[in-house]
Structure 1
């Protein structure tokens, strides 16, 4: 009974407030990294910086200026998604190194996924139909 009343009060308090988004999680991760580094370094500056980020997290999540917080998150995602895409591609390349090689077409710059054929091979780009030579050593 007490827990239900607390839940209702919390829902009522958070209505009209921004809450949690992807930028919140990124800042939370940054805070944890700063705190872990500070355990080894023991720096006042790192401690103040991590506490400042925590304060920013609290202020953002309880903010009533929803349009501004959504705009901040949108700007963050505009920067984050290309980084995430490149990291995924890098891990995919490492994972598939025994079966595929990735090469860029010199004409249209599209990244092609090629089967591993050792030696010198001629490849035709599916996008621009350009033929070019590819060398696979390993």
Structure 2
């Protein structure tokens, strides 16, 4: 019985756009709006805003206009690229915090790393070639 339902759902979703990064983000935004609407007095409109966001997400998932949905997702990826990059770099810095000490170049603000236990040394920025003293 469940096989029939599974294949019917697969047949229904053929040619449709499905889930993507923008859709997952919109689901989290809708959930946040809904929860805020529950806990903040006189903010009932946030619950409705969350519901509208969820309906739009479902519309995007079931859409057959894949070119338009792909363009929307590409726009979302381009707008969030800087934020995603900074979070992934922060995660790497946090993971390696016991092995390396990280410094910012005073001129160009690029990240540089120095092995812990190396003592005091002169770091030279690979981007702008500015040299400065740092203590690990």
Same fold (TM over 0.5): yes
Cα pair 2:30 2:50 within 8 Å, conserved: yes
Partner of 1:56: helix, strand, or coil?
A: helix
Q: Distance in 1 between matches of 2:68 and 2:13?
A: 17
**Shift of the alpha carbon at 1:50?**
0.1
Q: Aligned equivalents of 1:28 and 1:129: distance in 2?
A: 42
Say what the alpha-carbon RMSD is for the aligned residues: 2.6
Cα distance change, pair 101–4 in 1 and its aligned pair in 2 (3 A): same
Q: Where in structure 2 are the equivalents of 1:1-138 lying within 5 Å?
A: 2-42=1-41, 43-105=43-105, 110-116=110-116, 120-125=120-125, 127=126, 130=129, 132-136=131-135
2:19 aligned counterpart, secondary structure: coil
**Does structure 1 conserve the Cα–Cα contact (< 8 Å) formed by 2:107 and 2:130?**
no
Q: How big is each residue's C-alpha offset from its partner over 1:113-133, in whole Å with a ceiling of 9 and x where there is no partner?
A: 2123587521234x4683512
Given that 1:23 and 1:76 are in contact with CA atoms closer than 8 Å, whether structure 2 keeps it comes out as yes
Number of residue-to-residue matches in the alignment: 135
Q: Return closer, same or farther for 1:107/1:47 CA change in 2, 3 Å cut-off.
A: closer
For the residue of structure 1 that corresponds to 2:80, the secondary structure is helix
TM-score scaled to structure 2, two decimals? 0.81
Q: Which runs of 5+ in 1 are unaligned?
A: none
- Work out the CA distance in 1 between the residues paired with 2:39 and 2:118: 47
Gaps of 5+ in 2: none
**Residue range with higher mean Cα deviation, 83-92 or 49-58:** 83-92
Residue deviations 1:18-63 (CA, integer Å, cap 9, x gap): 1111111111111122222223214211111101101101110010
